[in-house]
Copies of this chain bind each other. A is one copy, B any other.
Amino acid sequence: MQNTYFTPGPAELYPTFQQHLQVAMDEQIGSISHRSQRFRDIYKFTDEQLRILLSIPATHGIFFMGSASEVWERMLLNCVEHESFHLVNGSFSQKFYDYAVALHKHTHVLEKPFGEGFDAADIQVPEYAEVVCLAQNETSSGVQMKTSEIHKLKRKYPKKLFCVDMVSSAPYPDLDFGIIDSAFFSVQKAFGMPAGLGVWIASEACLAKAEQLQKSDTLTIGAHHTLPTLWKQYKTFETPATPNALFIYLLGKIAEDFNRIGIETIRKQTEEKARTIYKFLDSSDTYQSFVKQERHRSQTVVVATTQKPAAEVIAAAKMKHMIVGSGYGKFKESQIRIANFPATSAEQISALIEQLKQ
């Protein structure tokens, strides 16, 4: 019997994934040249579907990386000359910060404990920070920052480049790319694909910054996947290196499926399922929502503190072929994580809740 994965990524594959994969195999997508019209058509299609899904304007390019982690490095190399600013409240926002330190950037950080979230009013962006790095959704702690708060902050600091981690929430957040310069996500989360592809959205302002930094004698923007090279190739829907064409194809097909349902419906369904889970946690004696403030509760990765040992809860669910995520890092023993991605239905979420009740 097949398991249902409620893990926060890699996660349950989207129900249409296998049929798209079969078509891709029949059409020999794994063998086509990345310099062929067939590949350019695939890139163009995926680009179009993501633009519709996430309302991405023509001012922004869409690029494919090996992973979202790679995007951290590319963003910092290409868009930060000296100083970056990081909102850190979990392991992944921390890692974005750690990358900046490793790249010898002058880093500023505003920290909150695991489980707490940011609002625009909390935040003073340092004067010389060039890029503001923040997580719309902190996968490790189940905390979100509302897009309205992100937009408010950006409007307060319109000249700073904003780079938004939506790795484990896209396409849920309704980011306004009219003002947000860059964002990124992975396909093994809410898009219901196997891992192996990161998606980087970056604006012309990011490109201009990269082109300016590229002229420096002292600083390097890197050699691989630099934004100017990515953008140059992107103009004809090609990539600098041989890309994961198969996954780019599959991402386009799943984004098309999402568009058929409609992004508003997907967002509503996500919120309804999240409400069901949080309602259960709030009424349970055994489980509590780790995130206390309702506005900071992630809609896509729910973290619950459990009175029973987490390992027991996870093992019992596994017996029923439901795979639940463990708590992150030091919360491994005391928390579970439940992904709420489009691949799992309201019925599956209800079945999981019934299981957790036992």
**Which residues of A pack against B, CB within 8 Å?**
2-3, 5, 7, 9-13, 17-18, 21, 25, 28-34, 65-70, 72-73, 76, 98-100, 102-104, 186, 188, 193-197, 217, 220-226, 240-247, 323, 325
| Chain B residues in 8 Å Cβ range of A2 | 28
> A244 to chain B: closest CB distance in Å?
3
| Chain B residues in 8 Å Cβ range of A222 | 73, 102-103, 222
Chain B residue nearest to A29 (CB atoms) is: B194
> 9 interchain pairs (CB within 8 A)?
A9-B242, A13-B31, A33-B325, A66-B70, A67-B242, A68-B241, A73-B222, A76-B223, A196-B196
Contact A244 B102 (CB under 8 A): no
Complex: A102 Cα to B31 Cα, angstroms: 31
Complex: A68 Cα to B241 Cα, angstroms: 8
Complex: A103 Cα to B67 Cα, angstroms: 22
Contact A21 B28 (CB under 8 A): no
Contact A220 B103 (CB under 8 A): yes
Complex: A69 Cα to B18 Cα, angstroms: 29
Complex: A317 Cα to B90 Cα, angstroms: 56
Complex: A65 Cα to B224 Cα, angstroms: 12
Q: Which 7 pairs between the two chains have the least Cβ-Cβ distance? A: A66-B66, A196-B244, A30-B194, A69-B241, A99-B223, A102-B223, A73-B224
Contact A3 B31 (CB under 8 A): yes
> A95 to chain B: closest CB distance in Å?
9
> A212 to chain B: closest CB distance in Å?
16
Complex: A222 Cα to B243 Cα, angstroms: 22
Contact A10 B25 (CB under 8 A): no
Complex: A100 Cα to B223 Cα, angstroms: 8
Complex: A99 Cα to B323 Cα, angstroms: 43
> A104 to chain B: closest CB distance in Å?
5
| Chain B residues in 8 Å Cβ range of A69 | 224, 240-242
Contact B11 A196 (CB under 8 A): no
| Chain B residues in 8 Å Cβ range of A98 | 223
Contact B242 A188 (CB under 8 A): yes
